[in-house]
Structure 1
Amino acid sequence: MTDEGTWVLGVRHHGPGSARAVLAELERVQPDAVLVEGPADADPLLPWVTHAGMQPPVALLAHVVGDADRSSFWPFAVFSPEWQALTWAVSRGVTVRFMDLPSTAVLAHRRRVEEDLAAEGDGEEGSSAPGAEDVMSGASVRGAALDVVLERTDPIALLARAAGYDDAERWWDDVVEHRGKGGGFEAITEAMAVLREDDDGGAHGGDGAGGAARRRTGAARQHEERREAHMRQVLRAVRKAGARRVVVVCGAWHAPALTGVLPPATRDAAVLRGMPKVRTALTWVPWTHSRLAFASGYGAGVESPGWYHHLFTCPDDRVVTRWLARVSARLRERDLPISSAHVIEAVRLAETVATMRGRPLAGLGEVTDATRAVLCQGDETLVELVTREVVVGERLGVVPDEAPSTPLDADLRATARRLRLALEPAPRDLVLDLRKDTDRARSHLLHRLLLLEVPWGAPQPVDGTGTFKEAWTLEWDPVLSVALAVASPWGTTVEVAATARASDLALDPGTPLAGIAGVLDRCLLADLPAAVPGVLDALRDRAALDSDVEHLMEALPALARAVRYGDVRGTDASALAEVTESLLARVRAGLPAAVTGLGDDAAAALRQRLDEVDRATTLMPATSRERWLASLTELARREDLHGLLAGRLVRLLHDARLLDDDTVARRLSQALSVGTTPADKAAWVDGLLAGTGTVLVHDDGLVTVLDGWLRRLVEDEFTTVLPLLRRTFGTFAATDKRALGTLLARLVRAGAGGPGAASGASSGGRLGGGGAGADVEWGPADRARAEPVVAAVARLLGVERG
């Protein structure tokens, strides 16, 4: 045990070497108080760090009460020196406190920064230097880090250059992260003090030894001054309470501000006076290694969380050997032939390269080079795989169920356990059979979360035409905890919150008619019967006031699906029938006017709506389908339609078996023979054929008509229509393209009956000529010229010519 005093341990956030050194120093000093950089109002959550169910990586989440999308995270990994200090103190009953500004001030400052950025309309991306920000903003549910606007230099880069290194990360690893259990904190503090003296004014630098020395003005400088003033005030308070040996664990940049003789307390009090605050709530949430990485946008991140975890947890000195064995195991999981000899050779190479580079131990750079050369055989795709899955990794932490959390978060986790759904960070495919109670309940949960904008599951296409299956990809992102906090005002359970959210969306004047229909569809998918009446009323009211036919057409498919899903899932969807029939009747009544005088873009949009409504009517009663097809039949008789729509109406009626192949061919022939431009005719073809080539594959006469039209086009006309036709045929499925190629080859071989026969020309026209396997017929002149060659080849092959 040492004498009285204060030991300031300047660390690099998430540095395993710093974590080992901190533990060694704590054991040597045996302090009676430990202060750690972190939000001071999170002290009530400290006892949870030693709970048996707490497994890092985890993070403190703070959000503004009543405005939960304004939030911040303070992440911790097992190799974070702050985490090791916390667990050491709590497990021994030693007084431990967070000493940084409370989250109430941090989030108030972030709001001010956001307002300044919005006012200026300008900004700069956050620093990628390690430790630049130990707080990760949750202002966006997607977790993008918010940083202040400032100019910055990297203090560790300055020290690295002074030591002859061109890579700041490597210098820090060699000097600090790969050191043993020695201290070195005094030297780090002295180096930071020199850099702060050169930084235009002292205590306004970045967090962490890898952080950025920053030239700041205005709110940013004032915020840093308040942070360090608050840290000193907490240190004074602990000393006043009787602590004789105090250990402070903070970002190395702050160490000089907390060392030696402190400035007068009155000065720090004046700096903190008038500090803006907001009301916040704090809790522990699980975190992942990938969220600790620079690539996530976290300013205090590290390049290699998986590697650092390995460095800290490796039980002996065989760090490189165990690491490369782990990498080889991951590659073997991908069915790559990696033997023990490969691992031995890779270890030797990594150690040799480290010696050549003058490094004390092989670091990540050396083991990565060895991995690339030996285990991956130079394949950069495999190197990227190792980096993503091993060097960074996707370890997900665990927070005890008993830990404080929002009621909505607790309900989700309890429901997920009951339904045997794990909150895992790695993507996982899930296929549900809606006839089974458990799978149906899983579907309800995932759809409710989508309504709350918590996209744990992403819907995927399902093979086949059945309606009893659903496919999802599940991927839990820790930042979804923010989304749950944002959704908390809607209710304390997922079902209650989703019901309230659906009702609010339906009543929002800004939600379009199709949006309300979509909400109703999602209410049935999510099994929210309490929301259906209100949403249905809102839909009726909005539909009664909306006279735009396209809006009505856009809303109809969701309603038709809702009726069908209600039947499949055992939900009473009978109340939707009246509204759905009413919308269809209004669509039919409004279509004649809607199809008149359209330009190309408007016609393309309406064609898509026609397709959607046509598919929707197949889900409706037979009488509704018949009325719809009758309306299409009337429209198809008109001669003033845009080609896209005219061709599409013929196609829809053909698919409904109301027009036979001969009638379709006749109408195509008429459309291609009237005195319109080639582009107009191509639009008619596009309307008829776009999406699938089935109608061509099964109709030789249609192919003949189409090829004859193409052959009659002069060069300029053909060049004009070619792009549109390429786009049309490009929408065909591969199987249709193959079948069409086979058909063309057969028709060409058939001679006069093939494409182009209608024009009186030899077969092998523009549509069929040159097709795969096509035997092109020659004219008399060509045959006479080829006859001597054919005879000679026949004699050489010993073939008798008939």
Structure 2
Amino acid sequence: MEGRAEKKQAEKTRAKAKKGMPHAFGIRHLSPAGAYYVREYLDRADPQLVLIEGPEDFSELIGDLGSEEIEPPVAVMAYTKELPVRTVLYPFAVYSPEYQAILWAKEHGCECRFCDLPSEVFLGLEEERRKKWQKKLEEKQEPCQEPESPVAYVYRRLDELSGDGDNETFWERTMEHAGDVEGYHKGAAEFGRSLRALASGDIPGTEKAAKSGAAREGEEAEGAGGMPDGGEEGRREDGGENAENRIREAYMRRVVARAVKEGTSPEKIVVITGAFHVEGLMGEGKPMTEKEWKKLPRLEAKKTLMPYSYFRLSERSGYGAGNRAPAYYELLWEGLCRQEPDYAARRYLAALAAYQREHGNLVSSAEIIEAMRLSLSLAGLHGGRLPTLRDLRDAAVTCMGHGSFSEVALAVADTEIGTRIGSLPEGVSQTSIQSDFYRRLGELRLERYKSVAAQDLSLDLREKLTVKSQKSAFLDLERSFFLHRLRVLGISFAAIQAVKQERATWAEQWQLRWTPEAEIQIVEAVLKGDTIEQAASFALRERTMGSSGIAGIAAVIEDACDCGMPTSMEYAVSALQGTAVDAVSVTEIAETAGRLSSVLRYGDIRHLDRAPLVPILSQLFLRACLLLAGECACDEGAAKQIAQAVATLHEVSVNHDFLDGERWRRVLFEIAARDDLNTRLSGLAAAILLEAGQMNSEELGCEVQRRLSKGIPAELGAGWFAGLSMKNHYALIARLNLWEKLSEYLVTLDDEEFKRALVFLRRAFADFTSEEKNQIAENLGEIWQVNPSQASEVLNGPVSGEELEMLSGLDDFDFGDI
């Protein structure tokens, strides 16, 4: 039962409507029934002007949105002109009421505009909220939870109170199945009124409602001059969604008032807006004044159209104004257009069955029929005449999934969300960098990869000698340049994969997948340049200037080479020359040398001049040789990083004849022989020399005898062996005397020493394969004079409970002073 205040307000609204108010049709964004019935409503109203909720400055794009060549879903995006880029997105599906209203207006030659706050104001309000939230965080010095918004509270209460258990099902059963335009129109208006009452705590029939009504009467009696609905200060104090909604509604009333002043009769204006705002537009509020308008915060912004996807519209992608099942909602739209009420239910179950069959899961016709019958029964239990998505899904799980959702989960995702991506015709409003991106996609024959499904692309960067044109001969190389530029810009359309042939310099493997996020990233990159190449060049130069060390600059050189951008490469090389003299860390030098080596070895296939890198690499390599031995006097934590640096530097020395290889070998011999360095690194140096043929079996035997002796602490001896095993395993396995020495060494250890050694040996043998462990077992079987297969079975067998308990205790073993 309505309270007295609500009755009085409703009477005022109806009286005002009789005096000549614009028509208002309440909708829900992405509502198939709303999209269908809004056309019928417009047919009846026959307006001269259609106003649609949406940023007013988007009106200049309505002509493009109404183009017959556009394929929804698409979105209008506003973005700030300065970093960090802030965005406002307004997506449209074919079943969006706003989109159908735009099409109707175009078909009937009717003027159409958006009427909400301009995008620059939305961005400004969002920035104010962000600053306010940041200030709260700084004041409290700890994360604080934002209070639940009024609208979030309303929908949570709907979930709790609706017989269906969630507001999405409640809306579909009540509104999407409304049956006629009058039912939808009145239902949406009532739904909006109820939302406003709940959001403000103004619940009909309660004491608070009466107080709120009296408060409204008091506000109306106080006179004009302030901000509409309580003035600007009132809005600022509210500070939440209610305050912003009042600002928006005041602005929409301002747009309506302006249209009337320009000569359009109120009765010839139809406003298409969210159901929540109908009461606000048709109520007693006053239009926003010029003074109030000028006080609103703003961030300068640009606009663009972009393709969108059903996945992005779905709630799984995190888009708040989306719906759970965009592909299913399209079926509802098609059913309304066909005037077949049960079309969506039939097509949904048929699509589930088709997906299951395509993927090897049998679904019989009888199961489909039973699922249809069960869904109708479930709808009837809730007082509905048609099944909702929830009814259909429950029926499908029961009849097709045998009671298990996991059996139909993939089919449900495919049928409910779908893979549809919108498209824009060439020439439709886009930023310069978007146009360049799509032009390059066409030139490089990559358009078919513009799909939400990930697709693999293999590239052969070598010149193709069997084709006639130079463009075709280097097509894959140009593709590689383009994809690497996208990678440098952080555009997620392409991700490079590891190539199976690690040493194949001519092969690249990519995975391509288009998402609306990638489109947003492209638009954001316009601040760096008008084309992909210009933006990538700016990004590389920015990274070069921001690099604090030589490794970062070397990474830029490597990326510039991959992108095929010689100018950016020259700039980074120049910066590296000026910075390399300050390098003091062996790990940083090694990382830089590794990157430069990669460019020198593989850069020829990209046709870039690499000669300036040769003296830089020589200089860095010499410095590493001078510093390395001293840095090997370190703890285990640093040893891991230095070990990687040693491996990298050795690979660099092997790959380039112009480097001083003899000096490098002397450094390795020094590290291998010294007792005052980290033993793991000494072992690694010995392993490298052994692998390179610079250390013979006799020298290795002497080193083993020295390192694995009773006088050497267990952890040092085992650490040395762990370093020795970091390189060629087969070279170690083939030397039986090495395993004899290790066996003799372990026998001499007492229990505590053995535990110390075991910690390091476990780590060493963790990198050996099963086959390699079998071969070691064979060696030990021969040493111990037992059957090799028996030794292998014992050594590679399952660990007993007692052994497992002892091993788990090693992680917390007390190493005393080491």
Q: TM over 0.5: same fold?
A: yes
Query: Is 1:61 the equivalent of 2:77?
Result: yes
Give 3-state SS (helix, strand or coil) of 1:520's partner. Answer: helix
Q: How far 1:463 sits from its partner (Å)?
A: 0.9
Q: How far 1:515 sits from its partner (Å)?
A: 0.9
Which of 23, 42, 57 pairs up with 1:26? Answer: 42
Paired residues for 1:564-713 under 5 Å: 564-596=601-633, 598-621=634-657, 623-660=659-696, 663-664=699-700, 666-673=702-709, 675-690=711-726, 693-713=729-749
Mapped contact 2:589–2:620 kept (Cα < 8 A): yes
Which residue of structure 1 lines up, in the alignment, with residue 173 of structure 2?
A: 174
- TM-superposition CA deviations, 1:91-135 (whole Å, max 9, x none): 322111111110110111111122122222277889xxxxxxxxx
Q: Using the alignment, how far apart are the partners of 1:62 and 1:149 within structure 2?
A: 27
Q: Using the alignment, how far apart are the partners of 2:319 and 2:236 within structure 1?
A: 20
Query: Is 1:547 the equivalent of 2:574?
Result: no
Which of 6, 11, 31 pairs up with 1:15? Answer: 31
Paired residues for 1:356-435 under 5 Å: 356-422=381-447, 423-435=450-462
Q: Using the alignment, how far apart are the partners of 1:746 and 1:592 within structure 2?
A: 34
Which of 353, 364, 368 pairs up with 1:328? Answer: 353
| RMSD (Å) for aligned C-alpha atoms | 3.1
- TM-superposition CA deviations, 1:334-379 (whole Å, max 9, x none): 2333444443343334334434454322222222223333434455
Which residue of structure 1 lines up, in the alignment, with residue 216 of structure 2?
A: none
Q: Using the alignment, how far apart are the partners of 1:312 and 1:72 within structure 2?
A: 27
Which of 459, 475, 478 pairs up with 1:441? Answer: 478
- TM-superposition CA deviations, 1:39-89 (whole Å, max 9, x none): 111111000122233111111111111336211211111122222212221
Moved more, 97-106 or 2-11: 2-11
Q: How far 1:447 sits from its partner (Å)?
A: 0.8
> Please, which runs of 5 or more residues in structure 2 have no aligned partner?
1-17, 203-211, 213-234, 464-473, 800-818
Which residue of structure 1 lines up, in the alignment, with residue 325 of structure 2?
A: 304
What is the aligned-residue identity percentage?
29
- Output the amino acid matched with 2:511: T
Q: Using the alignment, how far apart are the partners of 2:294 and 2:458 within structure 1?
A: 58
Mapped contact 1:748–1:768 kept (Cα < 8 A): no
Give 3-state SS (helix, strand or coil) of 1:540's partner. Answer: helix
Q: Using the alignment, how far apart are the partners of 1:357 and 1:708 within structure 2?
A: 81
Moved more, 31-40 or 9-18: 9-18
Which of 595, 602, 607 pairs up with 1:558? Answer: 595
Q: How far 1:697 sits from its partner (Å)?
A: 4.1
Mapped contact 2:544–2:553 kept (Cα < 8 A): yes
1:158–1:749: structure 2 CA closer, same or farther, 3 Å change rule? same
* TM-score, normalization by structure 1: 0.84
Give 3-state SS (helix, strand or coil) of 1:247's partner. Answer: strand
Mapped contact 1:200–1:215 kept (Cα < 8 A): no
* TM-score, normalization by structure 2: 0.82
- TM-superposition CA deviations, 1:713-772 (whole Å, max 9, x none): 44444444444433333333xxx22342255157527852789xxxxxxx978x984435
Which of 774, 777, 799 pairs up with 1:741? Answer: 774
1:641–1:229: structure 2 CA closer, same or farther, 3 Å change rule? same
Query: If each structure's helix is expressed as a fraction of its own residues, which one has the higher value?
Result: 2
Matched residue count: 727
1:173–1:704: structure 2 CA closer, same or farther, 3 Å change rule? farther
Q: How far 1:257 sits from its partner (Å)?
A: 0.3
Which residue of structure 2 lines up, in the alignment, with residue 793 of structure 1?
A: none
Which residue of structure 1 lines up, in the alignment, with residue 785 of structure 2?
A: 752
Q: Using the alignment, how far apart are the partners of 2:294 and 2:543 within structure 1?
A: 43
Mapped contact 1:459–1:471 kept (Cα < 8 A): yes
Give 3-state SS (helix, strand or coil) of 1:658's partner. Answer: coil
- Output the amino acid matched with 1:535: A
Which residue of structure 2 lines up, in the alignment, with residue 282 of structure 1?
A: 303
Mapped contact 2:164–2:170 kept (Cα < 8 A): yes
Q: How far 1:626 sits from its partner (Å)?
A: 4.8
Q: Using the alignment, how far apart are the partners of 1:238 and 1:95 within structure 2?
A: 11
Mapped contact 1:428–1:473 kept (Cα < 8 A): yes
Give 3-state SS (helix, strand or coil) of 1:351's partner. Answer: helix
Q: Using the alignment, how far apart are the partners of 1:662 and 1:286 within structure 2?
A: 70
Give 3-state SS (helix, strand or coil) of 2:566's partner. Answer: coil
Query: Is 1:498 the equivalent of 2:497?
Result: no
1:599–1:399: structure 2 CA closer, same or farther, 3 Å change rule? same
Moved more, 679-688 or 453-462: 679-688
Mapped contact 1:71–1:107 kept (Cα < 8 A): yes
Q: How far 1:773 sits from its partner (Å)?
A: 12
Q: Using the alignment, how far apart are the partners of 1:90 and 1:237 within structure 2?
A: 22
Which of 42, 46, 55 pairs up with 1:39? Answer: 55
- TM-superposition CA deviations, 1:247-279 (whole Å, max 9, x none): 21212111110125x4333x6555434112121
Give 3-state SS (helix, strand or coil) of 2:387's partner. Answer: coil
1:290–1:724: structure 2 CA closer, same or farther, 3 Å change rule? farther
Paired residues for 1:30-429 under 5 Å: 30-67=46-83, 69-121=85-137, 150=149, 153-156=152-155, 158=157, 164-183=163-182, 184-200=184-200, 217-218=238-239, 221-241=242-262, 242-243=264-265, 244-260=267-283, 262-265=284-287, 268-269=289-290, 271-314=292-335, 315=338, 316=340, 317-422=342-447, 423-429=450-456
Q: Using the alignment, how far apart are the partners of 1:379 and 1:710 within structure 2?
A: 56
1:91–1:587: structure 2 CA closer, same or farther, 3 Å change rule? farther
- Output the amino acid matched with 2:777: L
Mapped contact 2:164–2:382 kept (Cα < 8 A): no
Q: Using the alignment, how far apart are the partners of 1:15 and 1:699 within structure 2?
A: 75
Q: Using the alignment, how far apart are the partners of 1:337 and 1:637 within structure 2?
A: 69
> Please, which runs of 5 or more residues in structure 1 have no aligned partner?
127-147, 204-213, 756-762, 775-802
Which residue of structure 2 lines up, in the alignment, with residue 476 of structure 1?
A: 514
- Output the amino acid matched with 1:45: L
Q: Using the alignment, how far apart are the partners of 1:547 and 1:583 within structure 2?
A: 10
Give 3-state SS (helix, strand or coil) of 1:75's partner. Answer: strand
Give 3-state SS (helix, strand or coil) of 2:695's partner. Answer: coil
Mapped contact 2:544–2:572 kept (Cα < 8 A): yes
Moved more, 722-731 or 101-110: 722-731
- Output the amino acid matched with 1:196: R
Mapped contact 2:59–2:114 kept (Cα < 8 A): yes
Q: How far 1:624 sits from its partner (Å)?
A: 4.5
Mapped contact 2:149–2:240 kept (Cα < 8 A): no
Give 3-state SS (helix, strand or coil) of 1:303's partner. Answer: coil
Which residue of structure 1 lines up, in the alignment, with residue 525 of structure 2?
A: 487
